[in-house]
Amino acid sequence: MRAAQITRLDGPDAVRVAEVEEPSSAEGAEQVVIDVHAAGVAFPDALLTRGLYQYKPELPFTPGAEIAGVVRSAPADAHVAAGDRVLGLTMLSGGMAEVVALPAERVFPLPDAVSFEAGAGILFNDLTVQFALRTRGRLAEGETVLVHGAAGGIGTSALRLAPALGAARTIAVVSTEEKAEIARAAGASDVVLADGFRDAVKEITGGRGVDVVVDPVGGDRFTDSLRSLAVGGRLLVIGFTGGEIPTVKVNRLLLNNVDVVGAGWGAWTFSHPGYLQEQWAELQPLLASGVVPAPQPEVFPLEQAAQAIASLENRNAKGKVVLKLR
Ligand SMILES: NC(=O)c1ccc[n+]([C@@H]2O[C@H](COP(=O)([O-])OP(=O)(O)OC[C@H]3O[C@@H](n4cnc5c(N)ncnc54)[C@H](OP(=O)(O)O)[C@@H]3O)[C@@H](O)[C@H]2O)c1
């Protein structure tokens, strides 16, 4: 089968499409084997190409945390069967391949209304955002959510999900006007530019500030994000695409009664068996009914895996990025 492979740790340029072995028959007997139609691309894939992610597999390896496709075979006791349209989580690597074998608990039925390309952009970001907003961020009905990196994968996911989880208003923070359009299309109530976002947020909220900040960027925006919180507000630490890991002077938390909250979804799922299924039970009807709209991904062919991954590293990605394999 064909698969994207990271062959050297010197960036996305070294990603090649190669012929590799399909999952073995032993794997196929115990796991759900899926013919992959589309695979999601996320920022950790870019980090993996440079050996900068906490998970460091042996070279060469196939990146990709999430897929959408059709079940080829499944164990008799699995909740899916051959022919079913499904989504799947590899969680860390292996998704950018024509065939993937996954444990049944990481396979979910794909709602009929959602295409394979859009589906491949759902699980990794939407489940992270749902975990961050609900479980860690305690998002309450009627609250206002500020979203950094709002035209990216996590960002567009936060804009799509937050209203369904109770937010009355979402304020998107982006670096360019072109990205502002992407954030609006994902449902942002307001869009502000990263440069000077603190003043813009103050004005939009009448000086009150926001209840929750979704922060996949970190870096030098962090202090202004804290200053943008209303009393009782929560800043959700999701990632550091800005490069720098910020530090916090805790007197700010005390003086303003605000929280900085870590939101590491992958680690949480490993320490909370059954949590993925609970998450899907909430998300699936929202997606199937259209209350949460499907992602509108930018789609690259598998042959352009290197360019697709590079677009995240180069900050050019337009919304969620997905590879088409079939
Ligand atoms: N905590 C978790 O469980 C979890 C789960 C999934 C992903 N993550 C993390 O979440 C972060 C976002 O992932 P993603 O897939 O959403 O990435 P993405 O699609 O590339 O979006 C990231 C956004 O960050 C902004 N950004 C600011 N400075 C940047 C820079 N120097 N380089 C690149 N982008 C920059 C960009 O928006 P502007 O240009 O508009 O500023 C971009 O749209 C990553 O750090 C990822 O590892 C965490």
pLDDT band at 25 (very low <50, low <70, confident <90, very high): confident
What pLDDT shows up at residue 193?
98
Contact 63, 48 (CB under 8 A): yes
Tokens of 137: 């961020």
Report DSSP state, residue 133.
Answer: I
Chain-wide mean pLDDT for the chain?
97
| CA–CA gap between residue 212 and residue 243 (Å, rounded) | 22
Ligand 1 binding pocket includes 318 (Cβ within 6 Å) = no
% residues pLDDT > 90 (the chain): 97
pLDDT band at 278 (very low <50, low <70, confident <90, very high): very high
Q: Can you spell out the DSSP letters for 135-182?
A: IIT---TT-EEEETTTTSHHHHHHHHHTTTTT-SEEEEEESSHHHHHH
Domains located in the chain, CATH noted: 2-121+295-324 (3.90.180.10), 125-266 (3.40.50.720)
Residue located nearest, by CA, to atom 18 of ligand 1: 152
3 state SS of 4: strand
Contact 35, 98 (CB under 8 A): yes
Supply the angle between the helices 177-185 and 153-161 in degrees, to the nearest 10: 40
Tokens of 193: 């530019």
Contact 245, 74 (CB under 8 A): no
Query: pLDDT digits over 254-271, tens only?
Result: 999 999 999 999 999 999
Residue located nearest, by CA, to atom 25 of ligand 1: 149
Looking at this protein, which amino acid is placed at residue 143? E
Tokens of 95: 């998704």
pLDDT at 307 over 90: yes
Ligand 1 binding pocket includes 312 (Cβ within 6 Å) = yes
Tokens of 47: 């980090």
Q: Given the structure tokens 């990632």, which residue do they identify?
A: 239
- The 10 Å Cβ neighbour count of residue 280 is 18
Contact 93, 122 (CB under 8 A): no
- Relative to beta strand 210-215, strand 144-147 is parallel
pLDDT band at 243 (very low <50, low <70, confident <90, very high): confident
Classify residue 32 as left (phi > 0), alpha (psi -120 to 50) or beta.
beta
Ligand 1 binding pocket includes 242 (Cβ within 6 Å) = yes
Ligand 1 binding pocket includes 284 (Cβ within 6 Å) = no
What pLDDT shows up at residue 27?
85
pLDDT band at 26 (very low <50, low <70, confident <90, very high): confident
149 alpha carbon to ligand 1 midpoint, in Å? 6
| CA–CA gap between residue 63 and residue 20 (Å, rounded) | 13
Ligand 1 binding pocket includes 149 (Cβ within 6 Å) = yes
What pLDDT shows up at residue 28?
81
Q: Given the structure tokens 């007997």, which residue do they identify?
A: 29
What pLDDT shows up at residue 94?
97
pLDDT band at 103 (very low <50, low <70, confident <90, very high): very high
φ and ψ of 232, to 5 deg: 85, 5
154 alpha carbon to ligand 1 midpoint, in Å? 7
Question: Mean pLDDT, to the nearest integer, of 217-242?
Answer: 97
| CA–CA gap between residue 33 and residue 30 (Å, rounded) | 9
Query: pLDDT digits over 178-194, tens only?
Result: 999 999 999 999 999 99
| CA–CA gap between residue 320 and residue 179 (Å, rounded) | 12
Q: Is the pTM of this model over 0.95?
A: yes
238 alpha carbon to ligand 1 midpoint, in Å? 9
Ligand 1 binding pocket includes 239 (Cβ within 6 Å) = yes
Residue located nearest, by CA, to atom 37 of ligand 1: 149
Question: Mean pLDDT, to the nearest integer, of 203-215?
Answer: 98
Ligand 1 binding pocket includes 43 (Cβ within 6 Å) = yes
Of 193, 238, 201, which is closest to residue 219 (Cα–Cα)?
238
Identify the bridge partners of residue 101 per DSSP, sorted by sequence position: 33
